[in-house]
Structure 1
Amino acid sequence: MFQENDLIYYGNTGVCRVVEVGYPPSKAPGKAGQLYYKLDPLYETGMIYVPVDTPVFMRPIITREQAQTFLSTLSDVKEDEFTSQRRAEMMDHYRSLLHAHSCESLAQLIKTLGNKAHRFSVLGRHLSAAEQEYKKRAENLLYGELAVALGLSTPEDAAALAGPALCNF
């Protein structure tokens, strides 16, 4: 169980601070007597109330040492080799990388879609809106976690550190 002030990675929201562990306000939905986390997303607005036994993915954020090790091996991340002629299969695959909730899978998704965007730009084409959204979401999640783990001011600072290693062009 997480404690107040813990920094956690929550679902597809990303880094949140546990503000409180307790019972939700009387107007909040939920089972009476059920413990909730009150989460404050670091890079989004609003508060999240979630039962402590939620099926939504939660984990502690990576440590500074893990972030530094990750950055040192980032250029070794390979572009994803999954291909399909069916758009729905590709979107399901991208979603599975996003929902793996690991820095490695997020980096792979960013690298894959970034390189695809570059290849497409040479041909005068663009990524689909869905692909652009998956790439942006992966960047927000990865750079947000790296920024917190490394004590950086903003996710943009983390992007400046990680971004060059994610481009093959």
Structure 2
Amino acid sequence: MFHINDYIMYGKTGVCQVTGIEKGKLIGNAEIEYYVLKPLSCDTTIKIPVNTTKVNMRPVVSKMEVLDFIDSMAEEDTVWIKDDRSRFKEFESKLNEGSCLEWMEIIKSIYIKERDKQSGRKSISPRDRDISKEAKRLLFEEFSLSLGIPKDDVESFIINRVSNF
């Protein structure tokens, strides 16, 4: 169970702060406890049942976990699925899973493919570009909070750490 002021990852919404835990009544007078979440990326409020399993909710990773993820990134293998439909389905599944390692794998796979295609004057598909952008948004938002640095500095932080490793 999360507590007020905890930061959590909530599905593809991204980092949210738990601003309240409230009770409310549903249809049929059943009482339910729910989290009141405030996404860091937008000015909105989300209310979600405490015991929901429909959307992935997990604690934000620690600074040490972030550093371990970055340090292990170079060793992580990437697999490029040639069939666009299968690849998009796989990437969407990984985006929805809510795992930093999965997001890093997506980013690395698309980065390597884009680099390889640029040498042949081709580019990746717009859908691959969008998926990479979404994975970066989620990953960088979480890493930013954990590392205590601005979101715009996360990519250069990762590049510097990997190149010095």
- Same fold by TM-score greater than 0.5: yes
Q: Which residue of 2 aligns with 1:162?
A: 158
Q: How far apart are 1:17 and its partner, in Å?
A: 0.3
Moved more, 68-77 or 3-12: 68-77
Q: Percent identity?
A: 26
* Structure 2 residue ranges without an equivalent (≥5): none
Is 1:10–2:20 an aligned residue pair? no
Distance 1:22 1:40 in 2: 14
Q: SS at 2:74's partner residue?
A: helix
Distance 2:127 2:108 in 1: 16
The size of the alignment, in residue pairs, is 160
Match of residue 120, structure 1, among 114, 117, 121: 117
Q: How far apart are 1:61 and its partner, in Å?
A: 0.8
Alignment of 1:58-69 (within 5 A): 58-69=57-68
Sort the Cα spacing of 1:35 and 1:43 in 2 relative to 1 into closer, same or farther, 3 A.
same
Distance 1:101 1:112 in 2: 17
TM-score between both structures, scaled by the size of structure 2? 0.86
| C-alpha contact (below 8 Å) 2:80/2:109 kept by paired residues | no
Alignment of 1:81-100 (within 5 A): 81-85=79-83, 87-100=84-97
**Could you say which structure has the higher helix fraction?**
2
Is 1:134–2:131 an aligned residue pair? yes
- The one-letter code matched in structure 2 to 1:18 is V
* Structure 1 residue ranges without an equivalent (≥5): none
Q: How far apart are 1:125 and its partner, in Å?
A: 2.4
Distance 1:73 1:132 in 2: 24
TM-score between both structures, scaled by the size of structure 1? 0.84
Q: SS at 1:23's partner residue?
A: strand
Sort the Cα spacing of 1:57 and 1:144 in 2 relative to 1 into closer, same or farther, 3 A.
same
